[in-house]
Amino acid sequence: MSSMRMDKNWPKLEDTRLLGKRVSRLDGPDKVSGRAKYTYDQNPKDLLYAKFAWCPYGRAKIKSIDVTKAAEMPGVVSAFALRKEGDELRYAGVEVAVVAADTEERAREAARAIVVEYEVLPHNAEDKDFAAVPKEFLGKPRERKAGDVDKAFAEAEVKHTGEYGCAQITHCCLEPHGSVSHFKDDEHVAIWSSTQAISGIAEQVASISGVEAKNVEAVCHVLGGGFGSKFSLDSWDATALRIAEETKRPVKVMLERDQELMIAGSRPSGYAKVQIAATNDGTLTGWISESWGSAGAGGSSNLSLPYVFNGIPNVRLSHAGITTHAGPARAWRAPSHPQSALVTMSAIEDAAALLGMDPLALVRKNLALTGPLADTYAEELDVADRMMQWSAKWKPRDSKQGVIRTGHGLSLHTWGGGGHESNCDVRIHSDGTVDLSMGTQDLGTGTKTVVAIVVAETLGLPLEAVAVRIGEGRFPPSGGSGGSTTVGGVSSSARVGAVDAANQLFAKVAAELGAPAERLEARDGVIRVIDEPGKSIAFKDACRLIGPNPIVGHGKEDGSLMNSGVGGVQMAEVEVDSETGVVTVTKFVAVQDCGTIIDLKTAESQVFGGVIMGITSALYEERVIDPVTGMVLNPDLEFYRLAGIGDIGEIEVHMMQTERHHSRGVIGLGEPPAISPMAAVANAVANALGVRVPRCPITPREVLLALGKAGA
Amino acid sequence: MSDPNGLSRRHFLKGVGAGAIVAGSIEALSAEARAAAQAANPCVGPGAVPIKLSINGSVRELAVEPRTTLLDALRNHLDLTGSKKVCDRATCGACTVLIDGKAAYSCTTLAIAAQGRTIETVESLANGAELAPIQKAFVEHDAQQCGFCTPGFVVASEALLRTNASPDRAAVLEGLGGNLCRCGTYVGLKKACMSAGAPAKGGRR
Ligand code: FES
Ligand code: FES
């Protein structure tokens, strides 16, 4: 029926109306007015609040759990143990028993009345000092070799050795993990879940509860951050589902901030001893690294070294994973990349200092080692150089400075991206209205807005004309939002669906316009004959010809409208107070490509956000584990520090957006800008002080220790 | 629930409820002074007690426990969920409301202590679908991503703009320094707050 004549390929940059322009996010008004309803905000009638008793040790065995007293407290409807005698717990914060009560206060108080006896077992909190890690918690090193390392180092004109790394941090989503579940009867359940993957929730509920997937209504219209930590239902959601099933009352389980920071996801630490071999002119010839890291009580901590410069011909790598008794790692914006960038770019910066070279010159000299992105980096380095005025400002490390010392640092990064599976329905109604439904979710990245832009652009309509419905399990499924694959997937399926719908509409109006459907186009609110603008019909009038049922265009991501593989360059300028050790980022520059940009405004916001998150991990963030008890010492926002508005300096973002970039296809942007900031800031600090502060977060204490050690 | 000083939790709550006496000073009081304080401030709790709150221009009657925070009263009892719970201990500002026109953390204000004060939440700022100028500026400058911190920032910005119609950069950094965002929207926030202040021509911001 639909003659696929309208070309589904993206229009040229010069021909776009909305695509690639600065468009304000559609859900902005709901968010600024408090109308947006998150999972945490759902208050169905007769709601119960679930709260947990949790393990306060890094490693312990359950001796006994007694919920009797809690069960008898006012308002408590359900109380039970989640573990049994003899069970071993491997990190602090993990749930051991639960209560559900009719108010939040009563649930909290009852959770505190649960009595648990533990046998405390030896645990490990050490992952920074490799030599101090007890053998039993050390994984077998994985090794890799290429070229002839021994020869490269024997012939090297310059050899540099250094040690670098960063601590375990958490996702710290401001909306904690959790859900509200409600059994409407024995067979039907509704669940609101704060999730990055709404389309898969029904299947998970089915496997947890025995309710059939077709009888699960799953909703997540908005969520307060995920960053890689919210891909599936968790043990606490399963517990709440069980209570909801037993009580037939809705149950809300949202982790309290302390548990959120202890058990709901973390990023592995990454440390390395690095040796670099180079020639006197700055050509990198060899790399040796022994790295280690901990993903807590589960997951992998591997690094990809040498990062970006993976064409260094002679390399020898080994990496050992360490078990620490702390909440297990989850995917955290660009898994392993920020740590790998920190180690690699720090070593390169130190090597440049040893050679007496500007690191920008050294990086430019070795760009061929970065492979297919070399030209991208070359172009971006020029832009960043201009924005930061690097060439004018950069000074070698030994420059004489006073108490407050200024420095500059840079880093490069890459990410794949691509697009996940995505399906949608685009409907055009006979009254001229248009809607799209898709089982995706908007993490704050602008997904909803992106989809609306694509449909509006395709149908020649204003943005407001398109209603976008996402965040429900009943809509055509889309993949989880992770790995910078969302925008590639959703924009592709939205385009295919809108083109399908447009072609069906063209077929309906062809006779009216006296031209074959293949010669029609939708622009500026009309359907018209190509090259005969006089022959047109208003979109609304065209829709009257649709008939009794709406047109439905089916969209399916088909791989042809997206791409993968981006490069970015970032530069930081810092001031370091050499007496107090306080580091201040004064200016930050980020240059990024991401193929076809759908919404320039939210794309820039993504980069700003990634940079700010990265600055936070460079200077402030660390999940601190008590070496004595294994308890997390800072499961709150006073001591688990996030950067505030005054901590980030002036940030400038430049998106690469020429026809060459635009014509590549859509590539996601969630991960890339969050990769380099730690390395760029660490390098700027080294440049300012003339001394390497080896570990992030670069706290005043670390700065003063490094200065003290160097006698500087 | 009694402690070595003979003070019960009820005494403590009564003291906090009166808004004038804090736990430490109760302990320091003599027995007579304590008795006098108790007579002046009748005990409430520990069960739910009826309270009246003036919220967004109307008086709302509800029954909450004396330990219930204003934030939980708003969210759990009145379904005013625009104010968010994030840290629940006065660090992040997601729960910011206006009390007598000043920004306050509702997570560390007891609901009973907010009686007799004028409370404005984020829900009150827009006039139906018509957003307030600061809210429009937030949308225009994309001062939100996931949006979970956003209502708190909107209210903190509103509080700032009511005292300083055209804040400069330093004033914005200070005025919004009590709020945290994880998604990293600070660049848009700065622009929004400064631009909403720029065309100050009287009238309600
Ligand atoms: S929730 Fe009140 S300040 Fe964080
Ligand atoms: S917008 Fe997500 S926490 Fe601020």
Q: Read out DSSP for A24-57?
A: --TTHHHHHTT----GGG---TT-EEEEEEE--S
Q: How far is A643 from chain B (nearest CA, A)?
A: 7
pLDDT of residue A138: 95
Q: Work out whether strand B96-99 and strand B102-105 pair parallel, antiparallel, or are unpaired.
A: antiparallel
Q: CB burial class (10 A; 0-12, 13-18, 19+) of residue B85?
A: buried
Q: Which ligand places an atom closest to the C-alpha of B148?
A: 2
Which CATH architecture does the domain made up of B133-201 adopt? Orthogonal Bundle (1.10)
What is the Å distance from ligand 2's center to A173 Cα? 8
Smallest CA–CA distance, residue A119 to chain B, in Å, is 29
Please tell me the predicted confidence (pLDDT) of residue A712.
65
The predicted structure's pLDDT at residue B18: 38
Helix, strand, coil % in chain A, rounded to nearest 5: 30, 25, 40
Report the CATH number that the domain containing residue A432 is assigned in CATH. Answer: 3.30.365.10
- Closest Cα in chain B, distance from residue A508 (Å): 37
| Cα radius of gyration (chain B) | 19
Q: Name the residue with the closest Cα to ligand 2, atom 4.
A: B181
Question: CB under 8 Å to A45, separation ≥6 — which residues?
Answer: A250
**Is residue A135 in a domain?**
no
Please tell me whether the overall predicted TM-score, pTM, comes out greater than 0.90 for this model: yes
Q: Please tell me which of the candidates B82, B146, B186 has its beta carbon nearest to residue A645.
A: B186
Candidates A23, A588, A646, A446; CA nearest to B186 is A646
Same domain, A277 and A398: yes
Cβ atoms of B182 and A642 closer than 8 Å: yes
Whether the pLDDT of residue B185 is over 80: the answer is: yes
Three-state SS for chain B is: CECCCCCEHHHHHHHHHHCCCCHHHHHHCCHHHHHHHHHHCCCCCCCCEEEEEEECCEEEEEEECCCCEHHHHHHHHCCCCCCCCCCCCCCCCCCEEEECCEEEEHHHCECHHHCCCEEECHHHCCECCECCHHHHHHHHCCCCCCCCCHHHHHHHHHHHHHHCCCCCHHHHHHHCCCCCCCCCCHHHHHHHHHHHHCCCCCCCC
- End residue of a domain, out of A254, A288, A314: A254
Kindly state whether residues A230 and A275 are assigned to the same domain.
no
- Residue pLDDT, tens place only, B61-119: 999 999 999 999 999 999 999 999 999 999 999 999 999 999 999 999 999 999 999 99
> Which amino acid appears at position A429 of this protein?
H
Q: Hunting for tokens 């426990």 — which residue is that?
A: B65
Does residue B26 carry a pLDDT above 60? no
Instruction: Please tell me the distance from the alpha carbon of residue B7 to that of residue A706, in angstroms, as a whole number.
Output: 51
Other beta carbons less than 10 A from residue A219's beta carbon: 19
CB-CB neighbors (< 8 A) of A604 in chain B: 142
Decide if B180 and A642 are in contact by the 8 Å CB cutoff. yes
Q: Is residue A128 part of a domain?
A: no
Q: What is the pLDDT of residue B29?
A: 57
CA within 13 Å, CB half, A123:
29
CATH assignment, B49-123: 3.10.20.30
Residue among A21, A32, A605 with most chain B CBs within 10 A, to mutate: A32
Q: Nearest CA to A701 among A622, A636, A610? A: A622
Residues of A in Cβ contact (< 8 Å) with B140: 24
Atom in ligand 2 nearest the alpha carbon of residue B184: 4
CB distance from A90 to chain B under 8 Å?
no
Domain boundary among A530, A561, A592: A561
Tell whether the model's pLDDT for residue B16 goes beyond 50: no
d(CA B125, CA A502): 40
| pLDDT lower than 50: segments of chain A | 1-4
B109-129 residue pLDDT tens: 999 999 999 999 999 999 999
Chain B residues in contact with A25 by the CB 8 A cut-off are 139, 142, 144
Ligand 1 binding pocket includes B175 (Cβ within 6 Å):
no
Residue A547 CB-density burial (10 A; 0-12 exposed, 13-18 middle, 19+ buried): exposed
Q: Would you say residue B27 has pLDDT above 80? A: no
Q: Are residues A569 and A680 both part of a single domain?
A: yes
Tokens of B6: 């003979």
Contact across the interface for B135 and A611, Cβ inside 8 Å:
no
Q: Is residue A334 part of a domain?
A: yes
Q: Is B81 left (phi over 0), alpha (psi -120 to 50) or beta?
A: alpha
Beta carbons of A24 and B72 less than 8 Å apart: no
Q: Is B180 in the pocket of ligand 1 (CB under 6 A)?
A: no
Last-in-domain residue among A540, A561, A582: A561
Residues of B in contact with A443 (CB under 8 A): 145-146
Interface-testing mutation among A21, A333, A606, A645, with chain B (most B C-beta atoms within 10 A): A645
Nearest residue in A to B121, CA atom: A34
Q: Is the CB of B86 under 6 A from ligand 1?
A: yes
Phi, psi of A163 (to 5 degrees): -135, 135
Q: Give me the residue spans of the domains in chain B.
A: 49-123, 133-201
Q: Which-ligand-closest: CA of A642?
A: 2
Q: What is the pLDDT of residue A711?
A: 84
Q: What ranges in A264-373 are assigned the alpha helix state H?
A: 337-355, 359-365
Number of inter-chain CB pairs under 8 A, A vs B? 178
Which pLDDT belongs to residue A484?
86
Instruction: Look at chain A and report how many structural domains it folds into.
Output: 3
The confidence score (pLDDT) of residue B3 equals 36
Q: Does A21 touch chain B (CB under 8 A)?
A: no
- CA–CA separation, B179 and B181 (whole Å): 7
CA distance A531 to chain B (A): 36
> Both A289 and A352 in a single domain?
yes
- Chain A residue with the nearest C-alpha to that of B87: A257
A554 plus A581 within the same structural domain:
no
CA B20 – ligand 1 centroid, Å: 23
Nearest to B135 among A32, A224, A648 (CB): A32
Q: Specify the 3-state DSSP secondary structure of A435.
A: strand
Residues A574 and A610 in one domain: yes
Distance A609 CA to ligand 1 centre (A): 21
Instruction: Grade residue B41 by pLDDT with cuts at 50, 70 and 90.
Output: low
Residue A208 lies in a domain: yes
Among A335, A386, A699, which residue's Cα sits nearest to residue A571?
Answer: A386
- Residues of A in Cβ contact (< 8 Å) with B145: 443-446, 605-606, 609
Same domain, A705 and A604: yes
User: Same domain for A14 and A83?
Assistant: no
**Which residue ranges have their beta carbon within 6 Å of ligand 2?**
A 174, 225, 444; B 144-150, 181-183, 185
pLDDT of amino acid A298: 85
- Asked if B145 and A175 come within 8 Å (Cβ–Cβ), the reply is no
Q: Phi/psi at A511 (nearest 5 deg)?
A: -60, -45
Between chains, do A32 and B142 touch, taking CB under 8 Å as contact? Answer: no
Q: For residue A309, what are the contacts with CB-CB under 8 A and spacing of at least 6?
A: A284, A344, A348, A366, A369, A370
Q: Are A414 and A426 members of one domain?
A: no
Note the pLDDT of residue B28. Answer: 52
Domain that holds residue A335: 266-418+563-709
Note which residues in 212-231 of chain A have CB less than 8 A from chain B: 222-225, 227
Residues 6+ apart with CB under 8 A from A436: A424, A425, A426, A427, A451, A452, A455, A466, A467, A468, A469, A494, A497, A498
**B144–A222 CB contact, under 8 Å:** no
CB contact under 8 A, B147 and A41: no
Partner B, chain A 627-686, Cβ-Cβ below 8 Å: 636-638, 642-646, 648, 651
Looking at the fold, whether A528 and A584 belong to one and the same domain comes out as no
Predicted pLDDT at A658? 94
What is the structure's pLDDT at A648? 96
Bond into A700 cis (ω within 30): no
Q: Render A53-94 in DSSP notation, one character per residue.
A: EE--SSSEEEEEEE-HHHHTSTTEEEEEESS-TT-EE-STT-
Closest CA to A445 of A247, A223, A632: A223
For residues A524 and A598, membership in a common domain is answered with no
DSSP letter string over A445-490? S-HHHHHHHHHHHHHT--GGGEEEE-SBTTSPBB--S-TT-HHHHH
Mark whether A574 and A655 lie in a shared domain.
yes
At B7 the pLDDT is 35
Using CA atoms, how far apart are residues A228 and A336, in angstroms rounded to an integer? 13
Q: Could you say which ligand is closest to the alpha carbon of residue B71? A: 1
Residue A127 lies in a domain: no
